[in-house]
A = this chain, B = another copy of it.
Amino acid sequence: MTTAGATVQTVKIDAGEKISARDKLLAAAAALMTERDTVDVTINEVAGRAGVNSALISYYFGGKEGLLTALAMGAARVAVADLDSLMAMRTTAAIKLKHHIAGIINTFYAYPYLNRLLWALMRDTDSASARQLSNEFMLPVMRVQKALLEEGAATGEIRPTDPMLFFFQSMGACEYLFSGAFALKLVYGVDRIDDDLRRRYVAETTALFMNGYLTKPPA
């Protein structure tokens, strides 16, 4: 590991450039992963796309895994903040369930590489990346889902269910459109997931979970 001070001297950057180059690297990695439908990108490809020296990846992120973790955590922080806002809303558990399902789909629409990043970074469950993503993303999502399901069960709106199994059902049903986009292309000739398709998937999948879990059919 290079110390920050040593790297600053080597690549000659100042504080103003630092912020910009870091964001450029994250944006470049996101763009490459989205275009290529894979998280297998090299440090040189990311630096080349960002138009910055590849040494900056070590400087800002400590290496490629750090860059990928920072990218995943950026998406995770947005998703967890949205979830916290949702839970704080003064509305019924049924409406929260609907917004939550739509929110998962919208997260994967905004970050189509997110699920593959999670797989790549969490497969080694002993790694620091896996622990961070587990503690700061998976765990908060599961905690909010559990609270939402318990709130709905208490008011009689949602039939009692196992929050652990609900996590896999909801994540899977919402994200497979994105990670399985190859099937969209091969079987249906649909090359990209546009906003119209996103809206239709939100409508059909919120309906599945509302009908699937509410004790009374949605209005």
Contact = CB atoms under 8 A, between A and B. Distances in A.
Interface of A: 37-38, 118-119, 122-123, 125, 130-131, 134, 138-139, 142, 159, 161-162, 164-177, 179-180, 182-188, 200-201, 204-205, 207-209, 211-213
9 contacts: A37-B123, A161-B204, A164-B184, A169-B208, A172-B175, A172-B176, A211-B212, A211-B213, A212-B212
Contact of A173 (B173, B182, B207, B211): B173
A138 B183 contact: yes
Contact of A168 (B37, B161, B201): B201
Contacts of A172: 171-177, 180
- When all copies of this chain in the complex are counted, the total is 2
Contact of A119 (B125, B161, B182, B208): B182
From A131, A159, A168, A209, name the one whose CB has the most chain B CB atoms within 10 angstroms. Answer: A168
Contacts of A38: 123
B169 A138 contact: no
Contacts of A138: 183, 186-187
A123 B38 CA distance: 8
Contacts of A142: 187
A189 B207 CA distance: 32
Given A125-B186, A142-B187, A211-B211, A169 B165 contact: no
Contacts of A170: 173
Nearest to A175: B172
A169 B204 contact: yes
B201 A212 contact: no
A187 B165 CA distance: 12
